[in-house]
Structure 1
Amino acid sequence: MPAAITITGTRTTEHRPLGEYDAVFAEYLAPFADGATHFYIGGAVGIDSLALLWLVTEARSKITVVTPGTLADQPFEARQAIATAQGKGRLGELIELRHSDHPSTGAYHFRNRWMVDRSEFVIAFPRGVDQTRGTWYTANYAAEQRKPRLIVPV
Structure 2
Amino acid sequence: MAITGTRSIGDAPDDRLAEVFEAYLRPFAGPAAHFYVGGASGVDTAALQWLAAHSESALTVVVPCRTVDQPPGPAEVVERLRGEDRLAGVVEMGATLLGKAAYHARDRWMVEHSGFVIGFPRGEESLGGGTWYTLNYAAEQGRARLVVPL
**TM-score under structure 2 normalisation?**
0.94
Identity percentage over the alignment?
47
CA contact (8 A) 1:7 1:40 kept: yes
Count of equivalent residues: 147
Partners of 2:68 and 2:39 in 1: how far apart?
Answer: 11
The one of 127, 137, 141 aligned to 1:145: 141
Any idea what the Cα deviations from partners look like across 1:2-48, whole Å, max 9, x if unmatched? xxx0000011115xx82111111011000111111110000111000
CA contact (8 A) 1:66 1:94 kept: yes
Structure 1 gap ranges (5+): none
Any idea what the Cα deviations from partners look like across 1:104-130, whole Å, max 9, x if unmatched? 011000000000000000000001134
Moved more, 23-32 or 122-131: 122-131
Shift >2 Å, 4+ stretches: none
Q: Could you say what secondary structure the match of 2:7 adopts?
A: coil
Partners of 2:41 and 2:17 in 1: how far apart?
Answer: 14
The one of 86, 90, 111 aligned to 1:116: 111
CA contact (8 A) 1:52 1:85 kept: no
CA-based RMSD of the aligned residues comes to 1.2
1:103 lines up with 2:98 in the alignment: yes
Q: Could you say what secondary structure the match of 1:91 adopts?
A: coil
- Structure 2 matches for 1:14-29, cutoff 5 A? 14=10, 18-29=14-25
**What amino acid does structure 1 have at the position aligned with 2:100?**
T
Task: State the Cα distance separating 1:87 from its structure 2 match.
Answer: 2.7
Task: State the Cα distance separating 1:147 from its structure 2 match.
Answer: 0.7
1:55 lines up with 2:78 in the alignment: no
Structure 2 gap ranges (5+): none
